[in-house]
Structure 1
């Protein structure tokens, strides 16, 4: 039952994170990427601590969960490498990358997650999952390609940052579940976002000192900009990271990453609501994404039933 709840949380997360690239791209018209990366996480931390205290007031944490200092330096590494580096690289990457290309690159999350799990954590890959992963990636790419004759994929440098951000996020997703074993997902999210916010503050300070970011940052006078910033901070970051850790705990980072292939479909839906009718390639791409997720789930469940070693490897 809890696994299906995890699946539902990942579907909800894909719907929410489908607004991430459009929202960040809009905010980058007003704020520089270093300030935006720092503020959207630093602003979410008080909300996370408030939620954690409210939950722990009703249900006190277990002894293993309460020992926040038990993981020591690992909490800071999760925050600096998993949160601060990811947020900075992803935001700056969008700044120096075509927004559609950024959405397409998000479809590479399953492949990056497989590679990180294999080469960093020594988690074996079930070969039966590979065709499903490829199908999901192809569908995600097809769903976001516009055949208008324009140069949609000209290299601008931000593409490499986005791939690096995805790799960092994949590492964080698996490492957090291993290193913070015994913790609830809300505590994992809150504590790692706190140390990550310290890292993001340091990155912004360095950017200001070297002249890469203005200080004080420019402030928008448009209520819409502040509403979008509040949406990104409170919903996409605070609630979104919690949903992600919740889903990874129950399905594994590779399967959770496959659900992110639904993100481009949500973006297409946003375009359709704004008056842009989806093309047939986009519709076909959406079907391939959904089919890819379904096939991957079938393959993984079958592998877990037949291969006890795979189950043991994923639980270590």
Structure 2
């Protein structure tokens, strides 16, 4: 099979994984403090990342000179981003949060991309992205909640919109480092730093969880979040994003709401409206249109595991 389609398939797979996690995490939030659950997701993933990195690349170190950059990426892209996602859901409707989080993200990636990469915006990308945006709006707004601009939702709306901006910068800053280091090495260290910064925010929150009341489903939700949504997802997404390009790959995030709608149907018996099915069709058409564009040939970039400078 053409490697290009393997990369696109990887992006779709991870979007589905993240979309399904909306339902799984909703179940978990009935018992867990949101910040504690997020820390468990990323903190427990760290040993797996370092083990895989050691086994596949032979070392885990990074030069001291890039530590500040990786720490900043981890602080913004893991700690701050995840907290804003949680509280945007808390202070606005799920429809508002989903729409303002997902829809603008690829647009900001396209706008900021020239600052980090040599990617250009093509007419096919514009057309396909526009069709996908219409599709994601239909999927989210076709549900029962709809979109509301009520004043009581403004804080959550602003935070959800901010997630798109921070997330796009996180993607682009990560992909710039992947020109020197592997996607796995970048993911490992950004998540390690992000978890470290998140730890103090959990102080005082651990007691809010009734650990004795947790059942098998709660522990399986943690396993899914750690191994599938974090370890597998971050490695596959970043590797595919590096091959496909940040701008093009981030439009595949539009598959997340569609997967979330299906998860709601399977887990909570939520109805799928005709408008949502039409939206899913629009998204698929837009993403396929983007996928069949032949990417401009660039000089190959080989990620390295070491560069000059002392390693940690």
TM class, shorter-length: 0.7 to 0.9
Matched, 1:100 2:91: no
Distance 1:35 1:112 in 2: 29
What TM-score comes out, normalization by structure 1 length?
0.82
Give the equivalent residue in structure 2 for 1:19.
20
Q: Any idea what SS the aligned residue of 2:294 has?
A: helix
Distance 1:179 1:44, change over 3 A: same
Kept in 1, the 8 Å contact 2:175–2:242? The answer is: yes
Alignment map for 1:1-316 (pairs within 5 Å)? 1-56=2-57, 60=58, 67-105=62-100, 106-118=102-114, 124-146=120-142, 148=144, 152-155=147-150, 156=153, 157-205=155-203, 208=204, 214-220=205-211, 221-223=213-215, 224-274=217-267, 275-298=269-292, 300-301=293-294, 304=296
What TM-score comes out, normalization by structure 2 length?
0.83
> Could you tell me how far 1:99 is from its partner in structure 2?
2.2
> Could you tell me how far 1:112 is from its partner in structure 2?
2.4
Distance 1:147 1:25, change over 3 A: closer
Decide which moves more: 260-269 or 180-189: 180-189
> Could you tell me how far 1:70 is from its partner in structure 2?
4.4
Distance 1:293 1:178, change over 3 A: same
Q: For the aligned residues, what is the CA RMSD?
A: 2.7
Distance 1:180 1:252, change over 3 A: closer
> Could you tell me how far 1:136 is from its partner in structure 2?
0.3
> Could you tell me how far 1:177 is from its partner in structure 2?
2.2
Distance 1:97 1:241, change over 3 A: farther
> Could you tell me how far 1:124 is from its partner in structure 2?
4.1
Distance 2:223 2:91 in 1: 23
Distance 1:262 1:47 in 2: 27
Kept in 2, the 8 Å contact 1:21–1:99? The answer is: no
Deviations 1:121-147 (A, max 9, x none): 685433442222121011011012246
Deviations 1:199-248 (A, max 9, x none): 1113444xx5xxxxx35332341322222122112211222111221111
Q: Any idea what SS the aligned residue of 2:107 has?
A: helix
Aligned residues, how many?
Answer: 293
Kept in 1, the 8 Å contact 2:14–2:236? The answer is: yes
Decide which moves more: 242-251 or 182-191: 182-191
Distance 1:176 1:42 in 2: 19
Kept in 1, the 8 Å contact 2:261–2:272? The answer is: yes
Gaps of 5+ in 1: 209-213, 306-310
Distance 2:11 2:77 in 1: 19
